[in-house]
Structure 1
Amino acid sequence: MRTWFALGIVLALLASSTHRVQAQPQASYPCSVVLRATMKEIPNAQGVALITKVRKPYAESATSPVRERQSVGIYADWLPSPSVFGEYDRYEGFAQVPGEISWRFTMHPVKENTPSWFGGTPWVGKFDEISQELPLITRVEVRLSNTGTQELGPVVLQNTLQACGSS
């Protein structure tokens, strides 16, 4: 009898401490979101993130089976040189499902034929190896980065995928 009583208490404690994880609403593909500046020092800086599904072959062979992945591509414009903010030498794209997983990828400056006399440079990058569906709480960011230390700096542009919800 004591054994059953003890077992009942253990089961009751486990049941009360178990959290039911509610499924997050998922993004609809393809979608795009505007990335907005987080710093007053760069009022013109904005960007856009394209979130889409891509079908990628496993090998270069024409008969290779394909796998589906999610892709995050970013175009960011009117960005000053990263060194303006300190010990940074590039920008990186960063996508994260808060508290769960994140992905970071290098962004590259775009050489313009006729640069703006006002300043600012466009930067682009993409990452297309995301195997999980992206929930609407996913944050997409452009962040400062130091290639020597591999440390990410502050967020420069950001938004969530809330606008990617199915209508």
Structure 2
Amino acid sequence: MKKRFLIIAVFFVFFTPQLNTAQAGSLSFPCNIVLEPVKDIPNIQGTALITKVKKPYSDKPGSPVRERTAIGIYADWMPLPSTFGDYDQYEGFAQIPGVISWRFKMYPVKEDQPSWFGGSPWVGKYDEISAELSADAIVQLRLSNSRSGNLGPAVLQDTLKGCGK
């Protein structure tokens, strides 16, 4: 009986870290995820494209390149941010919970013919992520106040679980 417990203990000590490492590196890029509404807000939808990009270290021709992860967000049928309170813009927000986060400005897309029921598209991207993303990383579209710098609650969100191989 003691031998059986010893074997189980050895298994967990040696193989559990390897399983976690394998899961962390099991994301496949490029990947897109659907950003779901956090609350029941009619019509709003979003998507995020997560991919690897090669960026030069400088603007000089022939400069060496480095690989980064990029996140682009497209959200449509978004009401004016002020609809939700003291907010004047949306921001993209990505995080590895408890480790690091990134926030980036979103821009409204001017349409020739505005939608009759309101709402417009917002887009934005951030392409300087050097950390290794995992399936529990979160991508959100959040409210923001540009004057105070305060980041508001998430309106759309999802994790990278759908990016697995």
Whether TM-score is above 0.5 comes out as: yes
> What's the CA shift string for 1:115-166, capped at 9, x where partnerless?
1111111000000000022101100000000011111111100000001001
**1:68 & 1:25 partners in 2: Cα distance?**
18
Runs of 5+ consecutive residues of structure 2 not aligned to the other structure: 1-16
Determine which structure has more spread, i.e. the larger CA radius of gyration: 1
More helix by share: 2
SS at match of 2:103: strand
Q: What amino acid sits opposite 2:64 in the alignment?
A: P
Q: Which residue of 2 aligns with 1:97?
A: 96
RMSD: 1.3
**1:28 & 1:104 partners in 2: Cα distance?**
23
1:29 aligned onto 2:29: yes
**2:148 & 2:65 partners in 1: Cα distance?**
36
Runs of 5+ consecutive residues of structure 1 not aligned to the other structure: 1-19
Q: Which residue of 1 aligns with 2:63?
A: 64
TM-score normalised per structure 1 = 0.84
Percentage of pairs with the same residue:
61
> What's the CA shift string for 1:24-59, capped at 9, x where partnerless?
52321000000011122x221010000000000011
**1:85 & 1:132 partners in 2: Cα distance?**
32
**1:90 & 1:66 partners in 2: Cα distance?**
33
Q: Which residue of 2 aligns with 1:52?
A: 51
| Contact 1:95/1:141 (<8 A) preserved | yes
Q: Which residue of 2 aligns with 1:122?
A: 121
Q: Which residue of 1 aligns with 2:155?
A: 156
**2:30 & 2:55 partners in 1: Cα distance?**
16
| Contact 1:25/1:165 (<8 A) preserved | no
SS at match of 2:82: helix
> What's the CA shift string for 1:100-123, capped at 9, x where partnerless?
110000000000111111111100
**1:62 & 1:113 partners in 2: Cα distance?**
38
| Contact 1:143/1:156 (<8 A) preserved | yes
**2:164 & 2:92 partners in 1: Cα distance?**
22
